[in-house]
Amino acid sequence: MQVPLSEFRVVPYLAVDDIGDRIVNLMALWDGKEWHHWLPHAGKIIKMQMFGVVVGEYLAKRPEGPADLSISFLEFAWQRASWPELFGLWRQITDDVHNFAASTAKIEHFVSHRQVIGAGVSSFVQTELEYLLALARSTFDLLQEMVARIWARRVRSVDPIVETKRKRRSLPKEFSSMVLKGNRCSSADEIAAGYPISPGLANAYADAGLLFLKLRAVRDKVVHGGKAIELIFMTETGPCIHRSTGIFEELGVRAIPDVENNNLLSLWPVIAHVVFATIATCDHIAMALEHDVLFPPALAPQYSVYLRGFHSESLSRLKKWYE
């Protein structure tokens, strides 16, 4: 909805003079004691009475709930890069994060109802693991498309040499094209030589490529080969696989024996790695981009963005398995 810029001055958290041509996603505000919200109506911004956020994003100086998520690259997208051509991508990535949480909650549900579900519960967990790996790939690709659009149209590099190169060549929209050379990871030097980016951003991409290739290899085996996880065992503490599997070594994840059987290794560290290593890697790329590129000021400079969903608590519990 189109609203005159002057109307936004009723929203206390907004730096109205810095909005420019960016889209303002009006979020609820938690001031530490009460909730506040403003919405567009009939060409104006009006304040709404609200009692809390069930699913969505909000602004605060500190999270209202212990399970609410702060994700750096999503905050960067809203605060510094919410241009019209990026807004849809930002929403899709946010949906992926909520889906990470929903999938984790489903696995927890399978564990708690394993006796009712019966022997087929292992295939439920394997299907969710496949989905989590696909979500990780989706998140990487959406972030890359966002970076490519930013690089093509919206920003200037702080490095004059990089800025000159930026005008001559665009970045690929596919994450794999950015970080892989055939079936191997490109080095930071190769990425910097092939694309008009700074050494700092090239290093972030090179690190991301290592994780991307590992996740892709595991996904190919799980989905196509059926060899990465031949059988999932369900115990009181969660899904487990036999210690002979190589998935822990492939991902570089520390194996944790199940408390009920030392021959079984908990699958929770693998699940946590897929989710939180993906988020951390995207954060790393966004921070490198923010450091190297001239972006407009933050829309709400005194506040942070937090995410809350139906299953945020599941991600909060999962994070204890991530190292």
Output the DSSP codes for 29-53. Answer: EE-SS-EEEEEEETTEEEEE-----
The count of residues in the chain is 323
Q: How far apart are CA 165 and CA 168, in angstroms?
A: 5
> Are 144 and 175 in contact, with CB atoms under 8 Å apart?
yes
How many other CB atoms are found less than 10 A from the CB of residue 164? 11
pLDDT tens over the chain, length 323 residues: 678 889 999 999 999 999 999 999 899 999 999 999 999 988 899 999 888 999 999 999 999 999 999 999 999 999 999 999 998 999 999 999 999 999 999 999 999 999 999 888 888 998 999 999 999 999 999 999 999 988 877 666 666 666 666 556 688 999 999 999 988 999 999 998 888 888 889 999 999 999 999 998 888 766 655 554 667 888 888 999 888 877 888 888 999 998 888 889 999 999 999 999 999 999 999 999 888 888 899 999 999 999 999 999 999 999 999 97
Q: What is the pLDDT of residue 123?
A: 87
Q: What is the pLDDT of residue 229?
A: 60
Q: What is the pLDDT of residue 291?
A: 85
Give the closest residue to 62 by CA, choosing from 305, 281, 277: 305
Looking only at the bridges linking them, the beta strands covering 56-60 and 156-157 are unpaired
Q: What is the pLDDT of residue 262?
A: 87
Q: What is the pLDDT of residue 162?
A: 63
Q: What is this structure's pTM?
A: 0.91
Give the closest residue to 319 by CA, choosing from 74, 122, 69: 69
Give the closest residue to 234 by CA, choosing from 271, 268, 276, 269: 268
- Give the N- to C-terminal CA distance of the chain in Å, as an integer: 43
